[in-house]
């Protein structure tokens, strides 16, 4: 079949069962958009307000479904506007294919209008990237991009296509997509025996589960492991929902803003089992935290083993496959004394609830939990509100908590929420935002309205860049340099200008009626939920401190 490059591109997307592309047109991709017009009954194009919004939407689409997200942008500034979204996906191992246009081949390298070396720019933040210089290579390149994005540790791949390639004719032969096999060639019998021996010998095992558990679909296997060896189980920010909060062995999030039970569990265990996690500085803080325990590391990426922490044994491969092969080798355990100790820490960590008329994050999430029972998809921006969402929302299923963990991208949540809603139109999607983060990409409210993808944004509004202000309070002697916002933005009027509806919540009795209406709305909703500017995230471990040196609210 003879097709032009743009048609070959779209046929290859159809091969990969792509139903939705998030993007923004421009001169270098005009031929692709002309083809999209012809293919509009087969591929939905979601026009965002900004290319960064398209990248975040593709990311949210991918994380909530497990499929590859696809975004599309023109050359030059269109391509560079994708960079933050690509880097976000790279840090959190999200499968994404970003397609960019470029100037025609004769103009490459001549500082042409809207020319940029996007493959050079994105080299450190992609698993791989391509520039297509021959139309006969285009189909193979697109297929390779999807394979690479999904294979092994998932991540983003960029394909840059000069404009003349999108117009040239070439031969297209349809092919079935290559099924990406689970990585298990390094899961050797020797490694399995070494790991199982350490687990069987331990009396105080502790599991630290990361985002790889969700990427590999291994939540059931993680639960089976924890139950068989009777191990307290914590989760990183990226694993929220990978182990249900309702399970009696769950100890909560681990790390800088982790629970008392999780942090002390990691400190006092005799065996730390890290699964699909990378020992981030926000979790481990200092390697001195791990000197008292043996360490096992299960990860699909060999580069992560011994990168941040020296381990005693490891299993390299897909987490689901690793756990399937490991669990039968383990002895059934009953660590009653150890579990009782963790239960005491869990109870102590809950603290004493204080009745107050003041609006708090705890009150907000208690109402959200009451009305959703953990069944909504929750996205977040980045900051204090993100930590409160991880601490207080009822995370019971994987792929329902979508947040920027590694890069910490302010402005991520609304675009990601739109991607989640497009992928899951029958699910309630809630974006938890801060007033600082929300201002960065609030223009995507227009996308939410135009695409009939209504999401509910709840702004935990403290009139400040709350997390930075919290650090200034703790570590900079209360020098609040440029973290009080004082912009006077009327978020209710703002969302109304975009065709949605807003609610101002300043008293407790206003919250539940606002949430009930918001959760049944067919237009974008913004709830401006006012909290005090000095409300802080607790508990907290200072950067570089030992993980048992936990700061509680009553300490301050």
What is the set of active-site residues?
51, 113-114, 163, 467
Task: Tell me if 143 sits within 8 A of 12, measured CB to CB.
Answer: yes
Q: How far apart are CA 158 and CA 54, in angstroms?
A: 14
For 200, the 3-state DSSP assignment is helix
Backbone angles phi and psi of 131, in degrees to 5? -115, 125
| Residue whose C-alpha is closest to residue 236's, from 219, 212, 260 | 212
Count how many Cα atoms sit within 13 Å of the Cα of residue 357 in the half-sphere of its side chain: 2
| Residue whose C-alpha is closest to residue 325's, from 333, 315, 312, 314 | 315
- Angle (CA) 425-427-428 rounded to 5° is 115
- Angle (CA) 397-333-220 rounded to 5° is 20
Q: Which of left, alpha, beta for 46 (phi over 0: left; psi -120 to 50: alpha)?
A: beta
Q: How far apart are CA 204 and CA 225, in angstroms?
A: 14
Burial class (CB in 10 A: 0-12, 13-18, 19+), 542: middle
Q: How far apart are CA 55 and CA 84, in angstroms?
A: 8
Q: How far apart are CA 37 and CA 104, in angstroms?
A: 22
Q: How far apart are CA 74 and CA 123, in angstroms?
A: 18
Task: Tell me if 237 sits within 8 A of 253, measured CB to CB.
Answer: yes
Task: Tell me if 392 sits within 8 A of 259, measured CB to CB.
Answer: no
Burial class (CB in 10 A: 0-12, 13-18, 19+), 276: buried
Task: Tell me if 222 sits within 8 A of 351, measured CB to CB.
Answer: no
Within 10 A of 548 (CB to CB), how many other CB atoms are there?
13
Q: Which residues contact 40 (CB under 8 A, 6 or more apart)?
A: none
Within 10 A of 307 (CB to CB), how many other CB atoms are there?
14
Helix 138-150 and helix 5-15: axis angle, to 10°? 30
Length of the chain in terms of residues written: 556
CA distances to 219, 222, 303, 314, 332 from 233, in Å: 12, 9, 24, 18, 16
């Amino acid at each position: 079949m003879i097709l032009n490059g743009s048609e070959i591109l779209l046929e290859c997307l159809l091969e990969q069962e792509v139903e939705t592309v998030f993007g923004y047109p421009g001169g270098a991709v005009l031929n692709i958009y002309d083809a999209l017009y012809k293919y509009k009954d087969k591929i939905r194009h979601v026009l965002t307000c900004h290319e960064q919004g398209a990248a975040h939407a593709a990311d949210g689409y991918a994380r909530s479904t497990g499929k590859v997200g696809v975004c599309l942008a023109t050359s030059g500034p269109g391509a560079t506007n994708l960079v933050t979204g690509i880097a976000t996906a790279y840090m959190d191992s999200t499968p994404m294919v970003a397609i960019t246009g470029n100037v025609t081949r004769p103009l490459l390298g001549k500082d042409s209008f809207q020319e940029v070396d996007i493959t050079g720019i994105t080299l450190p933040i992609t698993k791989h990237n391509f520039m297509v210089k021959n139309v006969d290579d285009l189909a193979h390149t697109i297929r390779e991009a999807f394979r690479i994005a999904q294979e092994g540790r998932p991540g983003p791949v960029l394909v840059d296509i000069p404009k003349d390639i999108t117009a040239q004719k070439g031969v297209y032969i349809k092919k079935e997509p290559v099924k990406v096999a689970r990585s298990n060639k390094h899961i050797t019998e020797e490694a399995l025996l070494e790991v199982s021996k350490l687990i069987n010998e331990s009396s105080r095992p502790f599991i630290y589960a990361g985002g790889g558990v969700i990427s590999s679909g291994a939540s059931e296997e993680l639960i089976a492991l924890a139950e068989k060896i009777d191990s307290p189980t914590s989760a990183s920010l990226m694993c929220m929902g990978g182990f249900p909060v309702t399970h009696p062995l769950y100890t909560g999030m681990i790390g800088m803003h982790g629970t008392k039970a999780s942090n002390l569990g990691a400190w006092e265990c005799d065996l730390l089992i890290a699964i699909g996690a990378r020992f981030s500085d926000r979790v481990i803080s200092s390697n001195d935290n791990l000197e008292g325990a043996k360490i096992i590391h299960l990860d699909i990426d060999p580069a992560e083993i011994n990168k941040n922490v020296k381990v005693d044994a490891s299993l390299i491969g897909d987490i689901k496959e690793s756990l399937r092969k490991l669990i039968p080798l383990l002895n059934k355990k009953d660590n009653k004394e150890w579990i009782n100790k963790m239960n005491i820490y869990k109870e102590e960590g809950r603290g004493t609830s204080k009745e107050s008329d003041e609006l708090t994050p705890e009150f907000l999430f208690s109402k959200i939990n009451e009305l959703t029972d953990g069944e909504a998809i929750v996205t977040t921006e980045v900051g204090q509100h993100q930590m409160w969402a991880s601490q207080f929302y009822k995370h019971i299923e994987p792929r329902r908590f979508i947040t920027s963990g590694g890069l910490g991208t302010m402005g991520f949540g609304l675009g990601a929420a739109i991607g989640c809603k497009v992928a899951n139109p029958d699910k309630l999607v809630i974006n938890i935002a801060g007033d600082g983060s929300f201002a960065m990409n609030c223009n995507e409210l227009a996308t939410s309205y135009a695409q009939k993808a209504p999401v509910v944004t709840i702004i935990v509004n403290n009139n400040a860049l709350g997390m930075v202000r919290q650090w200034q309070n703790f570590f900079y002697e209360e020098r609040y340099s440029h973290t009080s916002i004082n912009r006077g933005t009327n978020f209710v009027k703002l969302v109304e200008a975009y065709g949605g509806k807003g609610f101002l919540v300043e008293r407790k009795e206003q919250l539940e009626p606002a949430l009930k209406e918001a959760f049944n709305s067919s237009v974008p909703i913004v709830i401006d939920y006012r909290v005090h500017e000095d409300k802080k995230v607790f508990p907290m471990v200072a950067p570089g401190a030992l993980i048992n040196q936990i700061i509680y609210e009553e300490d301050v």
